[in-house]
């Protein structure tokens, strides 16, 4: 993910191109494109440098994507898998999903991440005994570390290709 500082700097630098959009919502959309294409600050800087070296006028999003593929994505190390963290196993993390039946018969769901396993087990049993409208499930979720985010993004891409949603 590109930091906000590098994103703003990139947009300022791209703003030096002739015909670069002036409308704030369009500039924000260009920033979003940069953030979607680039994995980190160094990739964003490399892409902006390539755009400025290649064009003197704003080329548009399609040309930016093509240049990204040629100049930035092609330099990525192949099949580099980020490392997980101490809280997860291979990008997945155990958690509890709590379903609470409301008076209007709707179900509110929330995810609770265990701190020490003993605390959550005690919480789970206490909630089951104290309130029959609460059901607790043990689930696996994506971790918030780089590996977990990579796995979540891969699933979203697969869902998008298959026409589903995540």
Please state, in angstroms and as integers, the Cα–Cα distance from residue 64 to each residue in 42, 57, 77, following that order: 16, 12, 21
Predicted TM-score (pTM) of the model is 0.48
Q: Are residues 106 and 63 in the same domain?
A: no
CB 122 within 8 Å of CB 98 = no
Residue 25: the pLDDT is: 92
pLDDT of residue 166: 46
Q: Is residue 12 part of a domain?
A: yes
Taking alpha carbons only, the member of 114, 115, 134, 113 closest to residue 125 is 134
- pLDDT of 72 reads 86
The tally of CA atoms less than 13 A away on the side-chain side of residue 44 is 24
The HSE-up count of residue 39 (CA atoms within 13 Å, CB side) is: 15
pLDDT averaged over consecutive 10-residue blocks of the chain (166 residues)? 89 93 92 88 92 94 91 75 82 85 89 64 60 81 87 86 65
User: What per-residue confidence (pLDDT) applies to 16?
Assistant: 94
- The residue from 23, 45, 75 where one domain ends is 75
Same domain, 100 and 148: yes
Instruction: Say what the pLDDT of residue 124 is.
Output: 62
51 lies in some domain:
yes
* Residue that terminates a domain, selected from 50, 75, 100: 75
pLDDT for the residue numbered 59: 94
Number of domains in the chain: 2
Assess whether 63 and 99 both reside in one domain.
no
For residue range 43-82, list pLDDT tens digits in order. 999 999 999 999 999 999 999 999 998 888 877 766 667 7
Range of the domain at 15: 4-75
Same domain, 70 and 124: no
């Amino acid at each position: 993910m590109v930091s906000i500082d590098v994103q703003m700097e990139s947009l300022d630098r791209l703003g030096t191109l002739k015909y670069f959009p002036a409308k704030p919502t369009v500039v924000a959309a260009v920033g979003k494109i940069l953030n979607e294409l680039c994995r980190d600050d160094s990739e964003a800087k490399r892409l902006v440098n390539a755009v400025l070296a290649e064009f003197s006028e704003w080329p548009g999003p399609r040309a930016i994507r093509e240049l990204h593929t040629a100049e930035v994505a092609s330099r990525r190390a192949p099949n580099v898998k980020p490392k997980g963290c101490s809280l997860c196993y291979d990008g997945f993390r155990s958690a509890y999903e709590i379903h609470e039946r409301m008076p209007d018969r709707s179900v509110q769901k929330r995810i609770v991440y265990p701190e020490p396993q003993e605390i959550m087990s005690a919480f789970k049993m206490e909630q089951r005994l104290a309130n029959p409208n609460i059901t607790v499930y043990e689930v696996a979720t994506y971790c918030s570390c780089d590996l977990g985010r990579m796995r979540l993004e891969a699933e979203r891409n697969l869902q998008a290709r298959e026409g589903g949603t995540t």
